[in-house]
Each structure stands twice: as structure tokens, then as C-alpha cells.
A and B are shown apart, each in its own frame.
Chain A
Amino acid sequence: MADDKVITKVLAPTEIAEEHDQESHAPYVWVWFWLLCLTVVEYFYAYYLNPWFLILLLGLLVWAGIKASLVAWYFMHLKFEGKWVYFMIVPACVLAAVLVLALTPDVAMKPVEEDVEEAVGIAPAGTADSPGQVRAAGRSNTTQGQTLGA
């Protein structure tokens, strides 16, 4: 039994207070100060780099990402949490990216004109082809009179 190691340990009340002290003296006001600085940087970055969209977008995402990370790490105490938290956050973020990518062909991309005409001209009513097929999906293989399989 002496060999058995219990993962958790028993702390004396002073040690509990010290542990809390350590946790609660985390640099909250410093983090707040850096968040303020980053907000100011973000504001002026957006103001002056407005004409250059890609640089604007990438830069702003970096500043926003850093701010969000500071809030999550220090204010939400992710720094002190176990790995289990990431089992929840990471799948959600992956699904979030998947959602945006999945919507992109239908919403963000535009149909190519020739594909639209071809699809409208060739495909009889009731086929799977529809006008507005994205070029990346490939051209229709049907010939006149032939319907696609169900």
C-alpha cells in the first residue's frame, strides 16, 4: 500500500491557500494591459492598412487570435486545466472549419457561365445536374436524351 501512489495529494490549509494564491496572483492586470495595447494596435492597423485587403485580413486575424488566446489562457484558466478541455474545444474548432469549407462551394463560389449554359441545354428535367454547378466539380457527362442514374 505504501507503494501505491494516489494521483491527488492531501494539502494542509496553508498549502491550499498558497496554491490558490499562486493561481490568483496570475498576472491578470498585465494581461488586461496587453489586451488594451493589442486593441489599440488592431485599431490603427485596420485604419492604416485598410486599402490592402489580404494584409489587413491576415494581420487582424493575428491580433484577434493573440487577444483571444490571452483571454482563454489566463482569464479562462486554460493554463491550469488538464488536457481533457482540448477534447472538447478542438473537435468544435475542427467542425467549425469544416462547416465553413463545406458551405464555400455553394455560397462563396460563383458558377462559371459556360457550365451553366451546358447544364441547362443538355440536362433534361429530373436529372441530378442543376444549373450553377461549380467548375471544380467537373463537367456533365450526359449526352442528349440520357438521364443520370438515380
Chain B
Amino acid sequence: MAIATPSIHEPRPAAGHPPVPAHTAPVSPGKVAMWLFLATEVMFFTGLIGSYIVLRAGSPHNAYSNLYAPARLLLEPALGDTHGVILEKVGASEAEVERILHSVAGLSAEAAKKVIEEAPHGIIGELTAEKAQALAAALHATGAEAKVEPVLTHNWPKPYDELTNPLAINLTAANTFILICSSLTMVLALSAIQRGNRAKGSFFLLATVLIGSTFLSIQVYEYCQLGIFHHYPPGISATGHFRPSVSLFASCFYTMTGFHGAHVTGGVILLLVIFIGSLMGRWSATNYSPVELAGLYWHFVDLVWIILFTIVYLV
């Protein structure tokens, strides 16, 4: 029994039969093209995530610490033997705390003010163990809360460690869920259009655009908090702001999430165009391919984020 080989054009039925509907063709060129593109996107994100993995694996064991700026211990290894005091609560008298910081720890007025501002993570470093104990005791006497900490080093910022890692895991976990919701609305939009329900299709497309935009807004908010508004202890950044130049972790973080954010932005714009098309009645049960292809891209972006969130935020 001979089996007719499908040609690259629409498969031709035996003579006398009506034309074969397009949806029973093995695959459309558009779908092949989109999957091929997604394969190249796998390579693209591998370049980012793979680099992150090897850079992290190669990061020296004392690159990050609870008391000193990233990489400082690589340049000044002697600091590894020092102690620090973490000012957690200023207490009633700020002026008294300032005076003690100046007299016991030798901080200038400006430096002392900065430490007070940074409470509950106000770090006074480069102390000997005895000095650190004396400073903590003096601070306790004024009603402030402070604890002595030896230098603790890590090869990479630890999740949930507020002294080395500034990332808001809770907010981003919620954001991950938000992006997953947008994937659901996308597939429901496609499903609705495939069944000929255009109104529902448009509704779900709009929902996808809005939810995707929400994800982007939260990312932008997080960037602003990290880079501009929030002040972080020295273990995170020498300048206090978490910007790409402050550490290898920071530059990796911004590069990876930035490129992903750019992909999401492109996806939102694409879906906006698809949505406008749906309002114009372009898509139907027999013509839905662009919706499907845009959906493939959108799901891929979600998939990458699932992996990115796990590797960058949680590990």
C-alpha cells in the first residue's frame, strides 16, 4: 500500500475530492519559523544564564561578605580578620549614638549619620574584636540595639540574606505567578478564536496584554527601588545603591532580567498588534495562525522567566 508523501505545498487529495482544509496540513511554514526562532532564543538565554552559572561557580569564596563591599576582601584580605558592629535600632537618642560612633569607633560626623540612616543594617566595620565589643556595649547602654559580627564571607549573595542580597523575592514570586496567569489568558484567547468565539478571544488577548504590562511595571518598580530609592548596606554595594557596576552579581542580574524584560516588552507590543487585529475581526476559526505564533513566543518568554527566577532569585 503506497502512502502519498505530503508535498511542501498543501497536500493534494485524490482526484474528485474537495480541497483539504489547511489545518490538516502537517505543519505551516510560520510554525516552523517560530519554533526555529525559539530554538535560537534558547541559545540566546543560554548565553546569559550559562554565563551566570559559570561566573558564579568561579566566584572566589570571599567575594561577598556581610560587612564589606563586594570584592573588597579580594583586594584587602586582611579585613577577613576584622569584626563589625551592626546597628539594628537607634533607640531614643540619635545624638548619643552619633557621639559614641565618633568617640569609640572614630567615625566622622557624616559617616556616623550614614550608619544611623542605614539602621537596621548600619554597619561599622574594620574593628578589632575588643573594639567591636566595646562599641556594642556602649550602644546598648544608650538604648540602641547592636550586635557584634565577625566577617562572614560567601562566594555569591545568598537569597534572603539582607546584608548581601537586595532582591525582593516575595514580590518577584508574585510577579512570576502574574506572568503565568498571562500565559493562561493567552492560551484561552487562542482556544476561543479557534472555536470561533471572537469576543472572548479579544477579551483574553486584552487580558494578556494588561497582565504582561503589569509584570513589566513591577519589574520597573523593582529596578527603581534597587537602583534609586533604596539604600543598601555595604555588603551589597559600596555606593549604597544596587546598580550594574557595584558587583558582578549586580551586573549579571541587570543583564539577565533586563534582556528578559526587553523580550517581554516586545511580546506585549506584538500582542497589542494581535489584539487590535482581533478587534478588527481579522482572526477566526480558519485564520488564527498569527495568534498561535504570538502565543508561542509569549509562552516561551514565560518559560524563560520560570527558569530565570529560580536560578537568579532562589538559588
Residues of A in contact with B (beta carbons under 8 Å apart): 1, 3-11, 16-17, 19-21, 23-26, 28-29, 31-32, 35-36, 39, 42-43, 46-47, 50, 56-57, 60-61, 63-64, 67-68, 71-72, 74-76, 81-82, 84-85, 88-89, 91-93, 95-96, 99-100, 103-104, 107-110
Contacts and interface: CB of A to CB of B under 8 A. Distances in A.
Instruction: Give the residue among A8, A21, A56 with the most B Cβ atoms within 10 A.
Output: A8
21 contacts: A5-B4, A7-B4, A10-B24, A28-B187, A32-B184, A42-B310, A42-B314, A60-B310, A71-B180, A71-B303, A71-B306, A75-B183, A75-B186, A75-B299, A81-B27, A84-B27, A84-B32, A99-B43, A103-B50, A103-B54, A107-B58
Contacts of A39: 173, 176-177, 180
Given A1-B14, A96-B43, A107-B57, 9 more contacts: A8-B24, A23-B191, A24-B194, A29-B184, A56-B315, A89-B35, A99-B46, A103-B50, A108-B57
B253 interface: no
Contacts of A20: 194-195, 285
Interface in B9-24: 11, 13-15, 17-18, 20-21, 23-24
Interface in B258-310: 285, 295-296, 299-300, 302-303, 306-307, 310
B134 to A, nearest CB: 32
B6 interface: yes
B13 A10 contact: yes
A35 B180 contact: yes
Contacts of B300: 76
Interface of B: 1-6, 11, 13-15, 17-18, 20-21, 23-27, 32, 35-36, 38-40, 42-43, 46-47, 50-51, 53-55, 57-58, 60, 158-160, 169, 173, 176-177, 180-181, 183-184, 186-188, 190-192, 194-196, 285, 295-296, 299-300, 302-303, 306-307, 310-311, 314-315
Given A6-B14, A16-B23, A92 B42 contact: yes
B17 A10 contact: yes
